[in-house]
Amino acid sequence: MKYALIGCGRVAPSHIKAAKENGFDIVAVCDIVDGNIDEMFARSVLTPQEYAPVRRYTDYREMLDAERLELVSIALPSYLHAEAALEVIGREINVIIEKPMAMSMADADKIVEAADRTGVAVCACHQNRFNKAVQEMRAALESGRFGRLSHGAVTVRWSRDAAYYAQADWRGKWACDGGTLMNQCIHGIDLLRWMCGDELVKVYGVTRRAFHDYIEAEDIGAAVLEFANGAVATVEGTVNLADDDLEEHLSLFGENGSVKLGGTSANAIEYWHFKDAPQETKDGFHEKTLNVYGNGHTSLFRDVADAVAQHRAPYVDARAGRRALETVLAIYQSSFTGRPVTLPLGDVASKDFEGFFDRDL
Ligand SMILES: NC(=O)c1ccc[n+]([C@@H]2O[C@H](COP(=O)([O-])OP(=O)(O)OC[C@H]3O[C@@H](n4cnc5c(N)ncnc54)[C@H](O)[C@@H]3O)[C@@H](O)[C@H]2O)c1
């Protein structure tokens, strides 16, 4: 698979690792700052001999026109995802788009429409769906072991300090990044909505900027979600922990089973109990990870290659990316208006909330 990467910042080495581990032909990379490409390669799994022949670009349109690519992954700042994705899909090249897939419902709709129109594989990079623990929970759900769902919960309790936000101008800004729900917690929110049946009908949200007054958007968000199947779910997401990342946990409770996943990114099974097999234990599901990005990129990239070969949609497709974005924007909207939001969400964008925490609450 002839592959190229757009955006060579913090997360980019995970993309290169996933591409290498899947045996892709890494033909080109692009970053507007050429020096970032050197730094990224130095942090990557590639040896100098392996990355020397990779062609470098500072303009991704030029790269897309010059190279014969089969797959591109986009690891640009979040506000640039949609524009770049539409350029890639418009050239009928398969694409993996980092989360959030877009920053507005209008842009997410354009990506879904372009994916449908062209038939190329469009994947939203919610790699935690491939965590072994998450896959185990999902298998139990799909085989009906939970029975009727009562509720689910996600908590993302991480720490991000001033140095993190100072790394780049776009971080923490409503139009470019959003706050912790849009950036750090969207993976957990994606998992929660997916496990609770996707059909989200109502959202009650409260967000605050408690400690990070140098960013625009929220550093703590809480929400209650109501699903069409009767399940309710809660979200607690924050970067306000004093020192270190504590956990990303995901729980699901049904009439016949209870499961709690933990670790720093839903990468371990902490509790597993089903009425049909009370003695069942789940060992070996605690995946070791280098960082909170987890190990899922490699499996997600493999799935997209398989999807292309098998002419099917990726496991995490553009509609999934749209649903995760919609959930976050609905929480923002509810917090902003002080009222619950009924879905489907209209034409809402993260930038609509500019100035939110600068007004009197
Ligand atoms: N899936 C995950 O677990 C995960 C983890 C971290 C980040 N992310 C997402 O990945 C994206 C990138 O995050 P990051 O932390 O690597 O950001 P970053 O700021 O470290 O890197 C972005 C890179 O894009 C480059 N860039 C900016 N504009 C460009 C343009 N027009 N053309 C080419 N290159 C350009 C920058 O120079 C920079 O090197 C974000 O959307 C973020 O939310 C996802």
pLDDT tens across 319-338, in order?
999 999 999 999 999 999 99
Residue 18 tokens read as: 């996933």
- At 114, the pLDDT band (50, 70, 90 cuts) reads very high
For residue 137, how far is its CA from the centre of ligand 1 (angstroms)?
30
Residue 67 tokens read as: 């190279």
Reported as a single tens digit per residue, the pLDDT across 234-271 is 999 999 999 899 999 999 999 999 999 999 999 999 99
Q: How many angstroms separate the CA atoms of 266 and 130, rounded? A: 10
Kindly state the average pLDDT of the residues 52-63.
Answer: 98
On the question of pLDDT at 361 being above 60, the answer is no
Angle at the Cα of 100 from the Cα atoms of 129 and 166, rounded to 5 degrees = 115
On the question of pLDDT at 184 being above 90, the answer is yes
Which atom of ligand 1 is nearest to 58's Cα? 33
* Domains 2-128+297-317 and 130-290+323-358 belong to one CATH topology: no
**Residue 360: predicted pLDDT:** 58
- At 359, the pLDDT band (50, 70, 90 cuts) reads confident
Going by CA atoms, what residue is nearest to atom 41 of ligand 1? 78
**Residue 95: predicted pLDDT:** 98
CA within 13 Å, CB half, 200: 34
On the question of pLDDT at 199 being above 70, the answer is yes
Which atom of ligand 1 is nearest to 81's Cα? 41
The string over 70-109, giving b where at least 16 C-beta atoms fall within 10 Å of a residue's C-beta and e elsewhere, is: bbbbbbbbbbbbbebbbbbbeeebbbbbbbbbbbbbebbe
Q: Pick from 41, 98, 185 the residue to mutate for probing ligand 1's pocket: most ligand atoms within 8 Å of its CB.
A: 98
Indicate the angle between helix axes 34-43 and 12-21, nearest 10 degrees: 60
- CATH annotation of 130-290+323-358: 3.30.360.10
Kindly state the average pLDDT of the residues 338-351.
Answer: 97
| 353 CB-near residues (< 8 Å, 6+ apart) | 174, 217, 332, 336
Q: How many angstroms separate the CA atoms of 239 and 250, rounded? A: 17
Residue 17 tokens read as: 């690792």
For the full predicted model, state whether its pTM sits above 0.95: yes
Domain locations along the chain: 2-128+297-317, 130-290+323-358
CA within 13 Å, CB half, 234: 8
Regarding the domain with residue range 2-128+297-317, which homologous superfamily does it belong to in the CATH classification? NAD(P)-binding Rossmann-like Domain (3.40.50.720)
Reported as a single tens digit per residue, the pLDDT across 7-23 is 999 999 999 999 999 99
Q: Are 176 and 79 in contact (CB under 8 A)?
A: yes
- At 294, the pLDDT band (50, 70, 90 cuts) reads confident
- At 286, the pLDDT band (50, 70, 90 cuts) reads confident
Ligand 1, CB within 6 Å, residue ranges:
6-12, 30-33, 36, 60, 75-78, 80, 98-99, 125, 127, 168, 183, 293
For residue 307, how far is its CA from the centre of ligand 1 (angstroms)?
25
On the question of pLDDT at 26 being above 80, the answer is yes
